Amino acid sequence: MKKRRLQIFLGLMLGAALLWWLFRETEWSKVFAAFLDCDWRWLIAAEFFIFLTFFARVQRWSYIVRAVKPVSWRALFSATQIGFLANFTLPGRVGEFIRAVVLARLAALPISQGLAFVALDRVTDLFGLIAMMLVAAAAFQPAGDIVLPAELNAPVIPADAIRTTTVLTLVAMLAIILAFVLLYLNQRLALRLNDAIVGSVSRKLAARTHQMLEHFADGMHVFRSWSDMGLSIFFSLLTWLIGAGHFTCVLFAFGMAPPWYAPFVVMALLAIAISLPSTPGFVGLYQLGIIGAVLLTMPQADLDVAKAAAILAHLINLLTVVVVGLFCLYREGFHLGELRGKGSGES
């Protein structure tokens, strides 16, 4: 209980600090004017793309789960959306554990198998993320150092820093993919490497990751069906492409003329930002990713308009996730607090 309270407190402090830094010199009259002037037709299109990503993610996951047991699309959708709801509203990134718990209950599966399915879904998601980051890195090539607006009091960003960060992130994601491939091809070797590498830091952590890897290995039957894996990866790519469409609509709604690669840079920075220690609802981190990407790709953009776009983009995503997640909770007869306790206990 104390650990959870500390997580909540630290998350609130981080979110508050980020919001203060981003908005401390904001001309709110310009922000409100940008809200009033935005094109609602583009916002409706942006909302449509959000729902498309929901369906694409569930379809991607379905090709993984069906390799072991036929599961209804409704169960997969409810598990996914309730997990999203938990990630947006609870500290500690428990949404993926809760997704596994919900699927296990709805489909009569062991929770360990549900965790394996979730892990594999995250692996296929990495293929889409890597492709998106490669596009962003290849297209966005700043000619010189990047100077952010003076009111942010941010340091100058060296041109090479963006490319270096992108390359390091891609290497890390590829390493994760290779680790799962090794786990499938040679489970014993993968576990021995885990015990040696992680054990050199903490034996307790090595024991925990050893157990988790064993659980994940139980659900890796999908690798026996290359067609299902191919379809899952295809829908991963489609999901990220739909996400690019969503952010394109948001930028157009606020009268911006983004280069074609700007939405990919937005998603790349968002992926990095929300991977940091989580704030409740990703408040602060979400705005940081969008504002940063707009300033990097469109230096001529008005900072206050960029802030308005970031606020509204986060709001429509948050509200959609919460409304759909609560509907799924109600429909399935679950309580988020109960699921959180179960998920934490099994993690």
pTM for this entry:
0.83
Give the Cα separation of 202 and 188 in Å (integer).
Answer: 20
- The pLDDT of residue 180 is 75
Judging by beta carbons within 10 Å of its beta carbon (0-12, 13-18, 19+), is residue 139 exposed, middle or buried? middle
Q: Judge whether residue 327 has pLDDT over 70.
A: yes
Greater confidence (141 vs 298) lies with 298
Q: What is the pLDDT of residues 88-129, one digit of tens each?
A: 887 667 888 899 999 999 998 888 788 888 888 988 898 898
Of residues 218 and 301, more confidently modeled: 301
Query: What would the mean pLDDT of 14-37 be, rounded to a whole number?
Result: 88
Comparing 1 with 89, the larger pLDDT belongs to 89
Question: Would you say residue 347 has pLDDT above 60?
Answer: no
Tell me: pLDDT of 26 over 90. Answer: no
Percent of the chain with pLDDT over 90: 36
pLDDT, residue 320, reads 96
Kindly give, in sequence order, each residue whose CB lies less than 8 Å from that of residue 300, ignoring residues fewer than 6 positions away: none
Mean pLDDT over the full length of the chain: 84
Which of 170-174, 312-316, 331-335, 336-340 comes out lowest in average pLDDT?
336-340
Residue 25 has pLDDT above 50, yes or no: yes
* Number of domains forming the structure of the chain: 1
pLDDT of residue 185: 78
DSSP 8-state code for residue 281 = G
Tokens 């988790």 -> residue: 212
- pLDDT value of position 88: 85
The model's pLDDT over 227-268, given as tens digits with 9 standing for 90+, comes to 888 899 999 999 999 999 999 999 999 999 899 999 999 998
Give me the pLDDT at residue 146, please: 66
- Give the pLDDT of residue 278: 66
pLDDT of residue 281: 78
pLDDT at 346 over 50: no
Identity (one letter) of the amino acid at 307?
Answer: K
For residue 258, the 8-state DSSP code is -
Please tell me the predicted confidence (pLDDT) of residue 79. Answer: 95
Place 345 in a pLDDT band, splitting at 50, 70 and 90: very low
Q: What is the pLDDT of residues 196-216, one digit of tens each?
A: 988 888 888 888 888 777 766
Residue 210, domain extent: 2-346
pLDDT at res. 169 = 75
Can you give the pLDDT at residue 58?
96
Asked whether the beta carbons of 295 and 303 are under 8 A apart, the reply is: yes
108 Rama class: left (phi>0) / alpha (psi -120 to 50) / beta: left
β-strand partners of 157: 146
Q: Is the pLDDT score of 1 beyond 60?
A: no
Question: Percentage of the chain surpassing pLDDT 70?
Answer: 86
CA distances from 226 to 64, 67, 124, 233 (A): 11, 11, 13, 10
DSSP state letter for 145: -
Residue 4: pLDDT band by 50, 70, 90 thresholds? low
Higher pLDDT among residues 64 and 241, named by residue: 241
